[in-house]
Chains A and B, each alone.
Chain A
Amino acid sequence: MSGWSCRGVRFRYPEADRPALDGVSLEVAAGACTAVLGPNGSGKSTLLRVLLGTLRAEAGEVALDGKPLAEWTREAIARQVGVVPQGEEAVFPMAVRELVAMGRYPHLGPWRREGDADRRAVERAMRRADVLAFASRPLSTLSGGERQRARVARALAQEPAALALDEPTAALDVSHEMAIFELLRDLGRAGTTVLLVTHNLNLAARYASRLVLLDRGRVAAQGTPAQVLTRETVERVYGWPVRIDPHPGPGPDAGAPQVVPLSGEACAGMTARGDTDVA
C-alpha cells in the first residue's frame, strides 16, 4: 500500500516569474489509478517530481504512505515506487534485459549479486510488459514503443507498491498506447497504486478512477472522471470548445466521459484566453 498526500505545495523554478505549483493539495489513493491532467506548462511533471522527491517543495507538505517525504531515503522510495520518466536516452549500447535488471538495484544495494528471486522478478516484469521477445536486443535497435515498454518493465522489476508514469504513451501508436493502459488497469486491480501524468483526457477518463486537473500550477478540479471532465471545466482550463459524450462501449468503460474538441468555427463567441488564439 502506497499513496501520496500533499497540502498547499508550492514550487518555483529558479528565475521563473511565477511558481510552477501554487497551493496544490491532493490525495493519491493507495491501490487505485489517479491521472494528473492539464495543459502544457500547467505543472504536471513538476508535481510528479515533487511527489517523487526529485524536486523539493518550498512550502507545503508531501507525504508518501503517510510519512513525510523528507524522512524517506532514495533507496526506500525506489523500493516503494517504480517510475517511468518522460525522456531518457542511454548513450551506450545496452540490451533490454540489462535495462530491466536495473529495476532490481534498489533491492540489492551496491554489492549484493542478483539471486534467483531477482532473475524471476526480471522475467516476470518482461513478460508483463511484453518485451520478452526482444529481451537480448540492444535498446538502440528498438522502436519508440518497444523502448517505452522496456522502461515500464524496468519499473515493474522493482516490484513496487506504486507506479508513477510521466506521459508514458506520448510517442506510441493506438495499439501500444492501449496495451499500456490495459496493463495499468491490470496492475491497479492487483492492488498497485498508479499515478499517471498524461495528455490523453479520454483514456484517463476510462482507466483512472480519480483525475486531478491542473491549470497554471493550481488544482482546477479533482475527483471522479465525471466530476472533473465537465464541459465548463475543460473549456475553462484548455480554452477550447468541447463536447462531452459518454463512451458508447462496448466494454467496461461504457459511459465514461469522453472529450470531443469542436472545430475552430465553433469557437466564435468564446473569449480568447492565455496563449490560445481562438479568434
Chain B
Amino acid sequence: MKPAARLLLLAGIAVVALLVAVRLGAVPLSLRQVWDGVRGSGDATTIAIVRRLRLPRAVLAAMVGGSLAASGATFQALLRNPLAEPYILGISGGAAVGAVFAIALLGAAASGGIVAACALAGAVLAIVLVFRIAAVVGQALDTRILLLAGVVVGAFFNACILLALTFADADAFRSAIFWMMGSFSGATWRGIGLLAAAMVPGLAVLLALARPLNLLSVGEETAAYLGTRVERTKLLAYGTASLLTASAVAVSGVIGFVGLVVPHVVRMLWGADHRFLLPASVLAGAAFVVLADTLARTAAAPTELPVGVVTAFVGVPFFIYLLRRRAA
C-alpha cells in the first residue's frame, strides 16, 4: 500500500469513528437521523443532540487526539526517546495547576472558558520555565537537560496541585480531580474554533519540519552534517509541539497514552519517516480518541468513564500485542 493510500484509509477510519460517535449514546440515532441533524432538517431534539452535543464533542476529541499524537511523535524524535510523550516536559502539570487553582479559588463560578484559559496560562508558564532552565544563554539546547528540567518542573507543579487541593472544598476537589482525568463533555464550537486556531498552524509547522525531524531522530550531529540548522529546528519543533499540547490540555484536561502509543503503533506498522508518520499519527490519534470517548460515554451509561482510563485500557493491550508480534 502506498503512503497516500494508507493516509486515505486512516482518514476513512477517522470519519467512520466520527459517525459512530454521533450515532451512539442515550438516544441512538440512525445514519439518516445523523445526516438530517447535521443539515438541520430533522426534529428539534435530534438537531440539538447532533449539533450541540455529540458532533462538537466528537470533533473536539478528534482534534485533541490528533494534536497529542503529532506532538508525541515530535517529542519522541527530538528527544530520541521512545518513552517521550506530549506531557514529558511538564506541560500537563502546568495546565493542571492553572485549572485546579481556577476551580479551587473560584469554585462553582469557574466556567469552562475560565478554567481552560487558566490551564493554557499554566501550560505556557511550564513551557517557559522548562526552556529557561534548560537553555543556558549562548549554548546549545541540551536534550538531556531539557528532559530533566521537564521532570523537575512537573514534580514542582504536582506539589502545587496537592497544596491547592488540600485547601479546596469537597465540590472543588471533585471538579479538579475530574478535570485532571480529562473529558470532552464541555465541548463547544467556540472551544473547537480556538483549538483549531492553534492546531492548524501548529500541524503545518510540524509537517514542514518532517525531513529535519527524520534527521534529528538519527542524531543531532548527523542532522547538522546533512544540512539541518539544528538549534533553530529544535527550538521551533519543541515550541510548536508544546503549544499544540498546551492547547489540547487546556480544552480537554490530561488525556494520557494517546501521544505515547499512537506514534509507536504507526511506526511499527509503516515505518518512522515523519513525512508519513506525522499526518498518519494525526488521523490515527483522532480516530482512536473519538472511539475511546464514545466507549467512555456508553460503556457504563449513565455513568461516564474518564476517557483517559479507556485510552489506557484499550491502548496498553494493543501495544503489548504489537511489541510481542515484533519480537516474534
Contacts and interface: CB of A to CB of B under 8 A. Distances in A.
A79 B272 CA distance: 24
Interface residues of A, number: 32
Interface string B77-98: 1001110000000000000000
A90 B208 contact: no
Interface residues of B, number: 30
Given A91-B80, A94-B272, A95-B271, A79 B227 contact: yes
Interface stretch (B5-13, B17-25, B211-219): B211-219
A36 B81 CA distance: 34
Contact of A92 (B217, B222, B230): B217
Interface in A89-117: 89-95, 98-99, 102-103, 105-106, 108, 110-111
A204 interface: no
Q: Is the contact region of chain B dominated by helix, strand, or loop, or is it mixed? A: helix
A85 B211 contact: no
A92 B81 contact: no
Contacts of B225: 52, 54, 77-78, 81-83, 85
Nearest to A89: B219
A175 B119 CA distance: 61
A61 B212 CA distance: 29
B209 interface: yes
Given A91-B81, A93-B271, A94-B272, A105 B215 contact: yes
Given A98-B273, A110-B209, A110-B211, A90 B217 contact: yes
Contacts of A98: 271-273
B132 interface: no
B162 interface: no
A88 interface: yes
11 contacts: A74-B227, A74-B230, A88-B222, A90-B218, A91-B81, A92-B267, A105-B211, A105-B214, A105-B228, A108-B211, A158-B226
Q: Across chains A and B, which 4 residue pairs bring their CB atoms closest together, nearest first?
A: A78-B227, A106-B227, A83-B225, A88-B219
Given A14-B139, A90-B218, 9 more contacts: A52-B225, A74-B230, A78-B225, A81-B225, A83-B225, A89-B219, A91-B80, A106-B227, A110-B208
